[in-house]
Amino acid sequence: MRNVSDYFGENVFNESAMKARLPKDTFKQLQAAINNGKRLEPSAAGVVANAIKDWAIEKGATHYTHWFQPMTGITAEKHDSFISPNNDGRVIMEFSGKELIQGEPDASSFPSGGLRATFEARGYTAWDPTSFAFIKDGVLCIPTAFCSYGGEALDKKTPLLRSMEAINKQALRVLKLFGNDDVTSVKTTVGPEQEYFLIDKEMYDKRKDLIYTGRTLFGAKPPKGQELDDHYFGVIKPRVQAYMNELNEELWKLGILAKTEHNEVAPSQHELAPIFATTNISADHNQLTMEIMQKVAKKHGLVCLLHEKPFDGVNGSGKHNNWSISTNTGVNLLEPGETPYENAQFLLFLCAVIKAVDDYQDLLRISVASAGNDHRLGANEAPPAIVSMFIGSELSEVLQAIETDTPYGAKEKELLRVGVHVLPKFPKDSTDRNRTSPFAFTGNKFEFRMLGSANSISGCNTVLNTAVAEELKQFADELENAADFDTALHDLVKRVIVEHQHVIFNGNGYDDSWVAEAEKRGLLNLKTTPDALPYFIHDKNIKLFTSHKVFTEVEIRSRYEINLENYCKVVNIEALTMVDMARKDILPAISEYIASLSASAGAKQAIGSDVDLSYEAETAKELSALSGKAFSALKTLEAKLEETKRIFDITVLAAFYKDEVLAAMDELRAAVDSAEMLTAAEYWPYPSYGELLFGVR
């Protein structure tokens, strides 16, 4: 076995590869481009391109691609080979600086939400030098952002990079006020914990619903689910362990810091967590991780399900977004410090996050909104659709002491003044207990838990970065003009606590009473995607994004449309899949079984007139009733789908899918699942929940 440290990052053109292969000068220029966003001179780009090409060819690559993240939710690539014809009928391998820096994929087939009509169809991809190039399946992949020719963002990376710039700018202003003149850049960091299901491929292949939609649309509850809590952190089965080993190896080769793996709560559910990285790199890595998870699974005769709710009745899968802010001098700004001044700075950044989460609850909710995640949020397993924050009891006491001008702690005689006192260090253990909060402080970072397992992390981090940038801007505006900094700082912190503490909730977020309490506090409860999305285009939110140059208004409106359209398409595919399964497989199977029951009743009667036919008779009767019910629900669903064709307003259409189509789907499922319970296993056309959930041994 090879030593991990020998092959870690071997498929990445990382800093050490750059250093080894670039002339000193070019290396320096490239470092400046990476660290300070400086533009790379065309001549230097040519040198870099050539070095990357030689490196890639040595590793067996023949093609290159600009790798990007369009609004489809997955990554896109179009391969070009390095070959260029020579005069003598042979070829040479070429890759120019221009090819490295910019590509021109046809943008017309990617979702653009109306941007296409307004602007040119052509798009271009632009190199993101902060995220290293890598080799995947013999192709050199260059991480890029994807824009229209007018400069409108057509992807998820562009706004993320813009939001990182926004928070960098405002955080630097605030840090200057605390005398941190040595800090030249501030970056947000993210470690996404990824949940997933692993099921047997043979069973997967027999389920049209999994194939077409990624989740089961039918399925009666198995005798055993997750009630014994015997899967979480349980012993990992050999077949799963073999999968995890190969997955780790593939990720490590790509320089992805896969760190933790364990079984999750539901049967067949697992989690993978990496060590955190700078946000845009983390987003690239998470995208790659999801892709490789699925690829490696196939090699092991497994399928990796990334859907947020593949199975009813057991937990769905989320993706916890651990987020923090760090300086280039290595300070984590969300970690309480050792000195009064560090603590004051920490408190101010904490207040920025509290105010941001309160002011932009709607946007955070929207950033995780998808048809799939709607099945998860608000169910008794995932955070509710209400955005609130957990900060732990120690920190709450600190905030309370500041708010009420009362002494803090048992021994403390004086009042707590920001900038004078040292806060206690919070041991991580005592701050990380609340698992039901959507947005929890965990000692030196926040963990946003509403994200679904299939979601890109770009959206929620774009919102977080921008919202916190806005609060930091307001703080800097106020404090830069203050006559007395300490007093102004204290007053500001106190005011934020008073005005925004209603978003802080340290109790059980799964409790029903929280819903009522949250309503009293005036917090939003946007239960579904169609409920949440309209907030995207509210004036306050358009102002936020445009003032920090993260989105133009046109981009916001186009994304609003793309997201609604996507919601409608997903539900529509699910509904059509149900119709197909019910008509072609399920109803015929029930009828066949009824026929077999009556055949065996007939056979029994031949034995004698006094035989007991109750099993055949009662089951056949119940099944006939259920198939009637299912058939009528099926016809209702088909009628609803017909109706959708006559709705042209996308907002109205999304609401119709949510209220009418989903309800009809539920009704059909209920009847079919009851019928499954009564039907002999060999007649049922699909593997059961029990086989799917417990099939990997």
Name 277's bridge partners: 190
Residue 383 is a binding residue for ligand ADP (CB under 6 A): no
x/- site string to ligand ADP, residues 163 to 202, per CB under 6 A? --------------------------xxx-x---------
Q: Which is nearer to ligand ADP, 193 or 358 (CB)?
A: 193
Q: How far is CA 159 from CA 71, 154, 559, in A?
A: 12, 9, 11
- Using alpha carbons, select from 260, 267, 383 the residue that is nearest to residue 318: 383
| Cα-based distances in Å from 564 to 71, 574, 652, 658, 662 | 12, 16, 10, 11, 15
Return the one option of Mg ion, ligand ADP, none that residue 191 interacts with (CB less than 5 to 8 A, by type). Answer: ligand ADP
CB-based contact 487:347 (threshold 8 Å): no
Site for ligand ADP in 285-344 (CB under 6 A): 322-324, 332
Does 371 interact with ligand ADP (rule: CB under 6 A)?
Answer: no
Contact criterion met (CB below 8 Å) for 399 and 472 = no
Q: What is the CA radius of gyration of the chain?
A: 28
Shortest separation between residue 663's beta carbon and Mg ion, angstroms? 35
Contact 518, 512 (CB under 8 A): no
Question: Shortest distance, CB of residue 193 to ligand ADP, whole angstroms?
Answer: 6
Q: Which residue has the tokens 């992807």?
A: 155
- Residue 432 near ligand ADP by CB under 6 A: yes
Which 267-326 residues touch Mg ion, going by CB under 5 A? 320
Find the shortest distance in angstroms from Cβ 338 to ligand ADP.
17
- Considering Cα of 264, then 315, then 670, then 215, what sign does the dihedral take? negative
Give the residue at shortest CB distance from ligand ADP.
Answer: 191
Binding region for ligand ADP (CB under 6 A) out of 94-102, 267-275, 293-301, 470-478? 267-275
Q: Name which of 506 and 624 has its Cβ closer to ligand ADP.
A: 506
Nearest 5°: CA angle at 283, between 280 and 287?
A: 145
The residue at minimum Cβ distance from Mg ion is: 320
CA distance 238 to 509: 36
Question: Smallest gap, in angstroms, from Cβ of residue 500 to ligand ADP?
Answer: 23
Identify the sign of the CA torsion 173, 175, 178, 184: negative
For ligand ADP, the closer of residues 281 and 532 by Cβ is 281
Least separation in angstroms between CB 334 and ligand ADP:
7
Contact between 276 and ligand ADP per CB under 6 A:
yes
Spell out the alpha helix ranges (H) of 368-427.
393-404
Q: Using CB distances below 5 to 8 A depending on partner kind, what does residue 324 bind out of Mg ion, ligand ADP, none? A: ligand ADP
Select the residue interacting with ligand ADP from 185, 393, 444, 572 (CB under 6 A): 444
Nearer to ligand ADP, 396 or 444 (CB): 444
One character per residue 356-375, x = contact with Mg ion (rule: CB under 5 A): --------------------
- Return the H-helix or E-strand segment holding 147: strand 139-148
Strands (E), 157-312: 186-200, 258-263, 269-274, 277-278, 302-305
CB-nearer residue toward ligand ADP: 101 or 364: 364
Closest approach of ligand ADP to the CB of residue 244, in Å: 16
Work out the end-to-end distance of the chain between its first and last CA atoms, rounded to an integer number of angstroms: 26
Report the nearest approach of ligand ADP to the CB of residue 443 (Å): 8
**For 35-185, where are the E strands, in sequence order?**
63-67, 80-81, 83-85, 91-93, 102-103, 123-127, 134-136, 139-148
Which residues contribute to the site for ligand ADP (CB under 6 A)? 189-191, 193, 273-276, 322-324, 332, 432, 442, 444-445
Where do contacts with Mg ion occur on this chain (CB under 5 A)? Answer: 320
